[in-house]
Amino acid sequence: MRKTIGLILLFVLPILAVVLVVNTDKPMPTKLDKLKEKYSKKHVPGVDHSKFAQLNKKFARPQDITLECISCHTERHTEIMQSTHWRWLSDEYMKGRGIVSIGKRNILNNHCISVGGNEGTCNRCHIGYGYDSKDFDFSKAENIDCLACHDNSGKYEKEKEAAGNPKPDLDFAYIAQHVGKPKMENCGYCHFNGGGGNNSKHGDLEEALYEASKEVDVHLAKDGANMQCIDCHEAENHKMEGRLYTMASMNRGRLECEKCHSSKPHNDDIVNEHTVKIACQTCHIPIYAKVNATKTHWDWSKAGDLKDGKPYDIKDKDGNEIYLSIKGAITWEKMLKPEYKWFDGTAQHHLLEDKITQVPLVLNPLNGDYDSPDAKIVPVKVMRSIQPYDPEFKTLVAPKLWDKEVGKGGYWKDFDWNTSIAKGMEYAGRPWSGKYGFVKTEMNWILNHMVSPKEKTVQCIECHTRDNSRLAEIKDVYIPGRDYNAWVDNFGIAAIVLTFLGVLSHGTIRIVYGKKNKVKNIEEEENNE
């Protein structure tokens, strides 16, 4: 009896120990506590610009404010003039291609396609005054628009279709006296609205972040960390941290979650080990476009339909423009699951002169696969479009879309692709065969924002599952729970079934014969007697 109890204890005790170990509540990670403490201290400016006499005057031109800024901050303009925010160009090394200068100036996208020729309207989001053509003088410091980023009054605004110049009737003195570190509103003015409306491009950057809840974005949330963009995107000497690979190519200047959170932020080693191949964003941004919709598909070939010779718009019930005569048919979606791709920190870019060799044409293929040591799986918003190209030369085209006046070739006024493409390609200095068609294109927008609370993180089973795995498109790695070898599984199941059937029939025969034998034995015994 004592032995039996001993044996039972030997079984039960280890199980009990295991249960206790698994259920132990671990204390909050101190790293996160420290971060929360760090970012709860808000910046207090050391200077009050409203006390400066030189800002308390009437400014005839916005450039005069810039000159006042430079008169005290004597070298800052040199920093700005080296920045991508100013140059809209960056020297990038591209694999198999060498060093190229690319940026908003010359790169094509699949939203409004090209900046070139359309500077008048696009360049409202340039941090300068009057960048209205490729002849803009990038060496003229007075054209730096300090206020776009440093206005803290909330009253500064750029004029529409004025190449970055501000609205003329602003109270410049008041604005100049209320400058400071950039707030979310400064960044959001352009980065939330690029591509023709709120959340149009990114899907994870939009005006809802101004008043975000923790559900939408734990970092920016008023009830969360209540951070500002520049808390992460630090900009020592105006060198901004963080890059977007719709433009960038190289693994440099990137901003990674690990900067604050380290690569071992979880209590669980297995989860930490995922960080070798999985970017933080992949699990922590389970959905994007959480509040307002983002553009997911844009069909330029549908543009140009007119009612009584006039352009028109159709909006959905949320007010999103789903058809515009000037732009074509647009699909907006929200609460989207990202797509997932390998990314090693480098990207390729399709340039205007490049031949289209594959359809759909990916404008910025992300480099990396399981075997590249730096590559991780990242969440991506894939923007899909149908945009004009040259079927003869097999290149994309850069149409001129915008002009203030009718008859200058701007498609949005004239609705004629022929003149629009001719003007645009001439402006870009590229040949055009005279023919145009429409081609499917894709663009990868890596998602970095709208980080969800940890309770909403992607769960193991969402990837480690046979059906509808989030990582269904990641095919070059064995993922437990998702993958299996069909031969082995079939063999295994067959082995189990056959063993079971074998045992079953053997047992049945034993029982049947057993009864017969019993009868026989009894008979024999009786006979013997």
**Which spans of this chain sit near another protein (rule: CB under 8 A)?**
3, 7, 10-11, 14, 18, 21-22, 262-264, 269-270, 272-273, 275-276, 459-461, 464-466, 477-478, 480-485, 488-489, 491-493, 495-496, 498-500, 502-503, 506-507, 509-510, 513-514, 517, 521
Q: What whole-number distance in Å separates Cα of residue 55 and Cα of residue 65?
A: 8
**Mind spelling out the 3-state secondary structure of 264-292?**
CCCCCHHHHHHCCCECHHHHHCCCECCCC
Which residues have C-beta within 8 Å of that of residue 300, sequence separation ≥ 6? 113, 327, 328, 385, 386, 387, 388, 438
Q: Choose between 434 and 502: whose C-beta lies nearer to another protein.
A: 502
Least distance to another protein from the beta carbon of 20, Å? 12
Hey, what long-range contacts does 453-456 have (CB within 8 A, 24 or more apart)? 453/214, 453/215, 453/218, 453/224, 454/284, 456/215, 456/286
CB of 475 to another protein, least distance (A): 11
Is the Cβ of residue 314 or residue 493 nearer to another protein in the bound state?
493
User: Which H/E stretch holds residue 190?
Assistant: helix 184-191
| Nearer of residues 21 and 44 to another protein, judged by Cβ | 21
**Shortest distance, CB of residue 194 to another protein, whole angstroms?**
35
Smallest gap, in angstroms, from Cβ of residue 439 to another protein?
37
Copy the structure tokens of residue 423: 């003007």
Closest CA to 65 of 135, 162, 166: 166
Return the number of the residue (94 or 271) whose C-beta is nearest another protein: 271
Tokens describing residue 149: 């980023």
* 3-state SS track over 118-144: CHHHHHHHCCECCCCCCCCCCCCHHHE
Closer residue to another protein, CB minimum distance, 435 or 515: 515
- Give the residues across from 101 on adjacent strands: 91
Nearer to another protein, 297 or 464 (CB): 464
The least distance separating another protein from the CB of residue 10, rounded to whole angstroms, comes to 6
- Tell me the closest approach of the beta carbon of residue 378 to another protein, in angstroms: 17
Report which DSSP code applies to 328.
E
Nearer Cβ to another protein (14/429):
14
Residue 36 or 510 having the CB closest to another protein? 510
Q: How far apart are CA 183 and CA 57, in angstroms?
A: 25
Q: Are 203 and 294 in contact (CB under 8 A)?
A: yes
C-alpha atoms less than 13 angstroms from C-alpha of 106 in its C-beta half-sphere = 18
Euclidean distance between CA atoms 308 and 477, whole angstroms: 56
Taking the complex as a whole, the smallest distance from the CB of residue 24 to another protein amounts, in Å, to 12
In angstroms, what is the minimal distance from the CB of 77 to another protein? Answer: 39
